[in-house]
Amino acid sequence: MKITAVRIHNLASIVDAEIDFTQAPLKDAGLFAITGDTGAGKSTFLDAICLALYTKTARLKGDKGNLIDFNGDSIKLNDARNLLRRGKWEGFAEVDFVGQDKHLYRARYSIQRTHKKATGKLKVAEHTLVTLPDETLIADKSQTLKQIESKIGLSFDQFSRAVLLAQHEFAAFLKATGDERAQLLECLTGTDKFSLIGKRIFERNKELKDKFDLLQASLASYTLLSEDELAVKHITLNELKQQIEHTKKALISTEQSLNWYKQANTLEQALGEATKNQQHANSELEAIAQQSEQAKQAQSALEIKDNRKRHEYLTAQNKALNTQISDLKNIDHAALIEEQAATLNTKQSELKTAQEQKQSAEPIIAKARELDSQLAIHAQSITSLTQQSDKEQQQLSDLHAQHKQSQTALDEATKLSTQHQQWLAEHTQLKPLANDWNYYQHSFNQYLTANEQLNTTATQNQALLAEQTKQAELLTAQNKKVEQQEQQLNHDQKNLNELNEQQRQFKIEQCDSELKNIDYLKEQRIRYAQFTQELKQSTQAQNNIAAKLSQSEQQQQSLLQNLATCEQALKHNEYALNQARLRASENVEHLRAQLNPNEPCVVCGATEHPYATNQNPQLNNLIADFEASYTNAKKQLDSAQTQLHTHQTQHAVLVNEHAQHGQTIQTLNTKRSEMKATMEAARTHLNALTVEQLEETYKQLNGQKAQYFESQKQQNALQEKVNQQQNSLKAEQQTQQQLHNLNSELTNKLNQVNTKHAELTLQISELTTTLNAQFEHSNFWQQLQAGSLNLSDLSQQVEQYQQTHAQLEQSQKQIDTANQQLQQLTPLITKSESALKVLKDDLVSAQQLQNTTQSERLALFNNEQISANDYQAKINALLEQCQTQLHTSQQAYDSAVKKRDEHAIELKNAELRLAEQSTELTTLEERYNKWFSDFKAQYSEATHEQITILLALSSEQIKAHLTQFEQLTAALTDANAALKQQQSAYTDHQNTNKPSQNQVELSEQLAALNTKQTEQQNSLLATNTAIEQHNQNAKALEGKQTELATLKKQVEQWHLLNKVLGDATGKTMRNLAQTQTLKILLHYANSHLKTLNKRYELTAIAQSLDIAIIDRDMADEQRSVNTLSGGESFLVSLALALGLASLSSNKVQINSLFIDEGFGTLDSETLSVAMDALDSLQAQGRKVGVISHVSEMSERVATQVHVSKQSGGYSTVEVL
């Protein structure tokens, strides 16, 4: 992986910058420096690289996610959009790089605000990756990061360790303890998973141990029957089953006897209902007798209904034809034709006039077109002259403006020149400084700095004296404090020994055992009370089910009665259907039977009768109704049978539930008895206690236990206090030693300050003598010595003098330039004015000629402003209009003649149709009269008005009346048959198998049998429950024991693993893993250290995290890393940093490195060593960039990227 270019726009303090490593001088430089003042923006380049590749930076990744206000947006502290420059709406970071596949790519991270305004809201940052040079988009949004990681071969953490080296972390790494070194190594290599594994081993071991203890304690809750008890339960179960079967047979016999009485009551009720139904059917039939007679007459009159409808239709048609004939005879077609002929003659005359007008206008139109051409030429000439005149006028105006501008510039330059000369004369004493300011500025700066340092050393001297006195007092106080803490520690240690003795005398195990016994007894008593409550609930539930069983038996009897009724209704409907089918076979339609072949029908007059042999549809409908009634009755019977079957099933369920509750009650009684016996047999000394006494004992034991734990808590607190006092005493002793050392250091520092004060006094005397020789009488030198003038203010005065002198020279140049411009503009203005006058005269002549031609053109059309084409179009439009009107008039005349002929034909047709319909009306009336005579012979009281009323009835109404009559007739027949059948059924039941016992005796016998059966089922349920409970407990106990054995193996395995690797913090596993990581890291570091310095080699001490140095120049002597000098420590730290880069990159080749730390704290000798090391790095083929503000480094590195601060809070970038 190699970076080839970096581009920045509006990020932090940098507005625009580009570093191209493919262009000179960076192309040929293996080592370059990024230099600049502190805060200029040097590290922003590293931020830009991280942003473009990974959308985050190493400096921001550790910040907390708290929200801050960023120009109106609430964003997190670690949000990379914080780097967008204030007051800008857009910024980006762009990096070109060569990937692992040797192809060139460009990654870009851009930030924008909405509406392209600095006040807009921040948008979501965009991240893209393209190939170069074709700039094909590979990925955007969320896929970009994955693509970049695959192209580079490094994640962000690996990249920040492999490319951005940080030696200060490894300087701390060298000096740390073993545990601290493990933590640092874990953080640097990102291998915190081993600590998590160690903690997880500890947690898993604890989870399994707790689970094992809980499972082992749960085995005591399972109880089993003995073999003898189990055998007795099975024998009892078989005997109860035989007794229940015998009782069930007796119940069935008793229920059958009771059912005889219930059926007798049902049949008696059905007989009364049948009698009532027969009387009701007879009264309904008598009520509709008159209405059914009218319906029969209406049905006979239906055959003449079509005759009357046709007669009514033809009468209305004849009336309309008479009106139409009268209207046609009243129309006068001759007058209309004469009027259209006159209009046609008028339009022919108008067309002739228009044709003559068009012929006379042709020479006028030709003359107008000729004049239009001349006017166009005149207009073009005027336009050209106008444009030339305007252009010349504009040139003249521009020349006048330039003349005025040059004159103004001359006046302003002259004024400024006078002002600059006057100011320079007033500040003549600054002239020698301005000629060589760099030299004098350095001298003044040395004088002021030495003077300031002299004052500082004086202040330091006083402060050190005060501090030395203070530290002496602190040391005395510290000695006394150490003595007091030693006395307090001895006293607390004695108290701790006494508490330890008291704790050993208290027997906590015996107390816990007694508490467990009490808890067990209380639990058993609670369970006994629960069994009692459950027994009460089961008894109440059994009583409720018994009541439901009684109601269910009553509903069952009702359903049996309904079933019998449905069976009877089905028989009646079947009988009625058979009777209707019998009558249908003997009946033929009366009216159709009267039709004879080849004789006309009285309604339609047809001589063929294809439907004369069809059956009566009304009779067919009646049969269909009987079939529907039969089907409905059969469905009701099926429904009644289904309801009875469902109820019987539900009744059986209730019986079963009743028996189950009986078994539950038996089981609960057994459990209560067994539990009571168990409680009496065990822990007799506690069973004798009442609830209050038991609680008091429990409370006393808990009080003793609490007192024990309170004492233990005091013991732990005192032990912790003793430990803290020991640690505090040790710390105070260390403080005591530090105060001794500090006093010695203060004495040394005081001597150093006094020496430096003498040196500064000598330096100030020499500088003052040199500067007095040149500026003894100058005001600025006297003010500098007095402190009333700052060097920066004097620098500004000198800079102003230099600027004013340069501005004076510039003003003189401007005066010369303005004079030259004025001399050139005067002849140009005169020439332009003459040319403008000639153009204006030509324009006036052209306008006069245009006006003459325009007047002649207007006279052609009587001063009307119209074009030749428009005038010709107007003539043609008039001619076309006359032609159109003539054509319209001709069409109107032809239409009037045609309409006259059409009306004559329509009148003749209407008269013929009237004659035909009148003849048909006569025939219809004759047929109706013949039919009415026959109808009156059948119904003597019939009139024509009655016939009208009968024909007003619809076929549906007639059918409904007749159907109702037939249904009521059939219902009466069915009611008579049902009454007869119920009488027969009641008589037959009274003569068949009447029980010897009465109904009351049978009911009492049934209740006794049900009670007996309930008791037997309860006993059966209790016995069966005891056997099932035994089997379940045996099976569950076997499974628990198997599970316990499996869990025990797991506990043993995890206990061993936790003993070797686990602990609550993960420290054991972490240190073990980091020992191996340290060896790998040292292997990589030594390969780099050979190149940097062949004298030393890093090694790990045994199987620990301690590091030592092997000195090749001292016969491979093993030394502590603390014996290394500053420069040697830097080289070792750099080697470790490079080793981590190799470890992080693994198989990825890294050709670009950036070092951003450590150089500012090095002295000149160590810095020289460091620079030699960096030179060796670039010799390995890597491009190395160092970021520093140290001037010595800038001098050593020829190729630099210099970042310069500018006013306004931004920086500029320059490649040197």
Is residue 1183 a contact partner of residue 21, using CB atoms and an 8 Å limit? yes
Other residues' Cβ atoms within 10 Å of the Cβ of residue 520: 15
- Amino acid in the structure at residue 1140: L
Residue 172: band (very low, low, confident or very high) from pLDDT cuts 50, 70, 90: low
Three-state SS at 1204? strand
Residue 110: band (very low, low, confident or very high) from pLDDT cuts 50, 70, 90: very high
Residue 334: band (very low, low, confident or very high) from pLDDT cuts 50, 70, 90: confident
pLDDT tens string 795-851: 888 788 888 888 888 888 888 888 888 788 788 888 888 888 888 888 888 888 888
pLDDT tens string 155-171: 887 777 667 765 555 56
- Token pair of 550, please? 């009684």
User: What is the reported pLDDT for 681?
Assistant: 60
Three-state SS at 1001? helix
pLDDT tens string 761-770: 887 787 788 7
pLDDT tens string 597-637: 666 665 455 556 554 555 456 556 667 777 787 788 888 88
User: What is the reported pLDDT for 586?
Assistant: 41
Q: Tell me how far CA of residue 549 lies from CA of 52, 55, 652, 656, 1011, in angstroms.
A: 84, 79, 9, 11, 12
- Amino acid in the structure at residue 54: Y
Instruction: List all residues 6 or more positions away from 294 whose beta carbon is below 8 Å from its beta carbon.
Output: 950, 961
User: What is the reported pLDDT for 70?
Assistant: 57
Three-state SS at 102? coil
DSSP-derived secondary structure letter, 113: B
Q: Chain centroid to CA 77: how far?
A: 24
pLDDT tens string 1046-1084: 888 988 899 888 888 888 888 888 888 888 888 888 888
Q: Chain centroid to CA 536: how far?
A: 56
pLDDT tens string 519-564: 777 777 777 777 787 778 778 887 888 888 778 787 878 888 887 8
The CATH topology of domain 1-163+1150-1216 is Rossmann fold (3.40.50)
Pairing verdict, β 67-70 and 73-76 = antiparallel
Three-state SS at 14? strand
CA neighbor of 1204 nearest in space, from 3, 9, 15, 4 = 15
| Interatomic CA distance for residues 601 and 620, integer angstroms | 25
Residue 253: band (very low, low, confident or very high) from pLDDT cuts 50, 70, 90: confident
pLDDT tens string 723-745: 787 778 778 777 877 777 787 77
Q: Is the pLDDT of residue 978 over 90?
A: no
Cα Rg of the chain, angstroms: 64
pLDDT tens string 480-492: 888 888 788 788 7
Q: Tell me how far CA of residue 225 lies from CA of 4, 114, 666, 1032, 1098, in angstroms.
A: 87, 83, 17, 11, 75
Share of the chain above pLDDT 90, in %: 3
pTM score of the predicted model: 0.36
pLDDT (average), residues 959-979: 81
Is residue 1009 a contact partner of residue 655, using CB atoms and an 8 Å limit? no
User: What is the reported pLDDT for 587?
Assistant: 40
pLDDT tens string 256-291: 777 877 777 887 888 888 888 888 888 887 777 777
Q: Tell me how far CA of residue 800 lies from CA of 417, 647, 797, 820, 1206, in angstroms.
A: 15, 118, 5, 30, 19
pLDDT (average), residues 70-80: 67
User: What is the reported pLDDT for 318?
Assistant: 84
CA neighbor of 567 nearest in space, from 639, 637, 640, 645 = 637
Q: Is the pLDDT of residue 642 over 80?
A: no
Cα–Cα–Cα angle for 587, 592, 595, nearest 5°? Answer: 135
- Segments making up each domain of the chain, as ranges: 1-163+1150-1216, 477-592+615-776
DSSP-derived secondary structure letter, 122: B
pLDDT (average), residues 90-117: 91
Average pLDDT over all residues of the chain: 79
Element (H, E) at 754: helix 691-775
pLDDT tens string 894-904: 888 888 888 88
Q: What is the DSSP string of 1144-1161?
A: HHTT----EEEE-SSGGG
More confident of the two residues 357 and 143 = 143
| Interatomic CA distance for residues 258 and 265, integer angstroms | 11
User: What is the reported pLDDT for 589?
Assistant: 46
Is residue 703 a contact partner of residue 577, using CB atoms and an 8 Å limit? no
Burial 550-565 (b: 16+ CB within 10 A, else e): eebbeebeebbbbbeb
User: What is the reported pLDDT for 611?
Assistant: 45
Calculate the CA dihedral of residues 1078, 1082, 1084, 1087 and round it to 10 degrees: -170
Residue 96: band (very low, low, confident or very high) from pLDDT cuts 50, 70, 90: very high
Please name the residue that has the structure tokens 């500053």: 1126
Asked if the peptide bond before residue 432 counts as cis, ω within 30 degrees of 0, the response is no
Three-state SS at 544? helix
User: What is the reported pLDDT for 8?
Assistant: 93
Helix axes 167-175, 178-189, angle to 10 degrees: 160
Calculate the CA dihedral of residues 202, 204, 209, 214 and round it to 10 degrees: 140
pLDDT tens string 1103-1113: 788 888 898 88
Calculate the CA dihedral of residues 72, 75, 76, 77 and round it to 10 degrees: -40
CATH code that applies to domain 477-592+615-776? 1.10.287
User: Would 1-163+1150-1216 and 477-592+615-776 be classified into the same CATH topology?
Assistant: no
User: What separation, in Å, do the N-terminal and C-terminal C-alpha atoms of the chain show?
Assistant: 25
CA neighbor of 95 nearest in space, from 104, 87, 103, 83 = 104
User: What is the reported pLDDT for 92?
Assistant: 95
DSSP-derived secondary structure letter, 81: G
